[in-house]
């Protein structure tokens, strides 16, 4: 069993490749829409607001007020819960930044010639190539800005962040899917007890963070085997009251066996 995350810019055939890989592996295929719908249902946030957080159309006020940080935390928690089921192919753009350190997660980056993408976008949206080019450049710049602000990553497209990088301008989608399928079957990407535990720990830490981030935007969570450590600068004042409030929110959450506030 493994998990495949396919990151692709718009007009790179990401969805087609992902669905083909899922068919080959007999895995479920999940896209950004399902992830956002899951987060919206869990945290009672309109899907449009969550989409804005992922599409970098949040206002400056939302960024400064930590609204985008909270929305990304909700999305990340929903994303990890979906991946925690294993045997999943996920396709999106920046979601590979939501998880690291899990050996059975195969991260794939799809590339395509920029001018080819410009032509495809212009044709699909019936706009000039100039407008299509400007739109794609703006989209890329916004994603890089978000990666720096919220994930401390200078370049979200850095090949070092992926296990496999494929140029779909050079090969057909079916060939890309075949290469990804073959790699997903490699023993290096098969789930083992340790990697499953790592996934479970990350999922729990994200879920706890999402539950607390509205009140504590700088919250830091570390979960290991059901033991949850919680840190925040806000705890320096009235710590006792805050610890009691946090315990009320967290101690009965599924997967939490012990909690400490530091």
Question: What was the pLDDT predicted at 251?
Answer: 84
- The strand pairing partners of 89, in sequence order, are 4, 29
Q: Contact, 96 vs 108, CB < 8 A?
A: no
Helix axes 67-83, 47-55, angle to 10 degrees: 100
User: In angstroms, rounded to a whole number, what is the distance separating the alpha carbons of residues 242 and 223?
Assistant: 19
User: In angstroms, rounded to a whole number, what is the distance separating the alpha carbons of residues 205 and 211?
Assistant: 10
Say which DSSP state 89 is in: E
Question: What was the pLDDT predicted at 223?
Answer: 95
Contacts of 155 (CB under 8 A, 6+ apart): 144, 147
The domain spans of the chain are 3-189, 193-257
Q: Contact, 16 vs 205, CB < 8 A?
A: no
Question: What was the pLDDT predicted at 147?
Answer: 87
Which strands sit side by side in the sheet containing 227-231, from one edge to the other?
220-224, 227-231, 258-261
What's the whole-model pTM score?
Answer: 0.90
Q: Per-residue confidence of the chain (262 residues) as pLDDT tens digits?
A: 789 999 998 899 999 999 999 999 999 999 999 999 999 999 999 999 898 888 765 555 555 557 888 999 999 999 999 887 678 999 998 899 999 999 999 999 999 999 999 999 999 999 999 999 999 999 888 888 888 888 888 899 999 999 999 999 999 999 999 999 999 999 999 999 999 999 999 999 999 999 999 888 888 999 999 999 998 776 666 677 788 888 888 888 999 999 888 7
Question: What was the pLDDT predicted at 238?
Answer: 67
- CATH class of the domain defined by 3-189: alpha beta
Minimal CA–CA distance to 225: which of 259, 252, 251, 192?
Answer: 259
């Amino acid at each position: 069993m493994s998990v495949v995350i396919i990151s692709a810019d718009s007009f790179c055939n990401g969805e087609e490749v992902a669905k083909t890989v899922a068919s080959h592996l007999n895995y479920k295929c999940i896209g950004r829409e399902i992830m956002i719908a899951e987060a919206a249902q869990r945290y009672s946030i309109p899907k449009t607001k969550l989409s804005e957080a992922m599409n970098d159309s949040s206002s400056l006020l939302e960024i400064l007020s930590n609204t985008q940080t909270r929305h990304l935390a909700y999305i990340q928690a929903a994303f990890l819960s979906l991946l925690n089921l294993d045997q999943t192919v996920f396709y999106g753009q920046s979601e590979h930044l939501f998880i690291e350190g899990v050996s059975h997660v195969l991260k794939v980056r799809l590339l395509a010639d920029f001018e080819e993408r410009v032509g495809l976008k212009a044709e699909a949206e019936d706009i000039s190539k100039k407008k299509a080019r400007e739109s794609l450049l703006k989209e890329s710049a916004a994603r890089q800005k978000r990666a720096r602000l919220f994930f401390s990553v200078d370049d979200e497209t850095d090949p070092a962040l992926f296990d496999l990088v494929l140029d779909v301008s050079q090969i057909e989608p079916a060939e890309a899917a075949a290469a990804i399928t073959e790699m997903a079957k490699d023993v290096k990407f098969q789930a083992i007890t340790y990697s499953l535990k790592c996934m479970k720990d990350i999922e729990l830490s994200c879920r706890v963070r999402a539950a607390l981030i509205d009140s504590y935007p700088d919250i830091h969570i570390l979960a290991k085997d059901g033991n949850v450590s919680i840190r925040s600068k806000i705890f320096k004042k009235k710590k006792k009251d805050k610890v009691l409030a946090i315990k009320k929110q967290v101690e009965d959450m599924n997967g939490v066996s012990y909690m400490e506030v530091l």
